Amino acid sequence: MELKKIQNDIHTIFMKNLKRDKIKVDDDYLVLKASEEFGEFIQSYLVYKKRCRPVKYLSAKKSKKEMAKELSDVLGLILVIAKYLKIDTEEALVKKWITREWINS
């Protein structure tokens, strides 16, 4: 599946959920939501590394799955933000990381 298709699908699902929950969407909300999701990823990482209270420990398999779920939330929100702000994610990734056209420009 191509990145643009994934981005469009995630955006559609996310916006439907916001509408269902009567949450007003704007760029501030999206950035704050992404920050919240990143915090949840960090928390799952701490559990995975067992750098949390022992009562929160999970098996390696379960903690890795939780970490993957939270990281997918972070990535999903980033894709939603990019679409909302009309940023071509594929172009940006290629120009920044692959061709390095945007390095030092």
In the chain, how many domains are there?
1
Residue 58: give the domain boundaries.
Answer: 3-98
Asked if the structure places residue 105 within a domain, the reply is no
pTM (two decimals): 0.91
Of the pLDDT bands very low, low, confident and very high (cuts 50, 70, 90), residue 1 is confident
Kindly give the residue spans of alpha helices, DSSP state H, lying in 21-59: 27-48
Asked if the structure places residue 104 within a domain, the reply is no
CATH number at residue 54: 1.10.287
Task: Compute CA 28 distance to the chain's CA centroid, rounded to the nearest angstrom.
Answer: 15
pLDDT, tens only, 62-73: 999 999 999 999
pLDDT, tens only, 30-77: 999 999 999 999 999 999 999 999 999 999 999 999 999 999 999 999
Asked if the structure places residue 12 within a domain, the reply is yes
**Spatial CA neighbour of 69 closest among 13, 61, 53:** 61
Q: What is the residue type of 3?
A: L
Between CA 43 and CA 101 the distance in angstroms is: 35
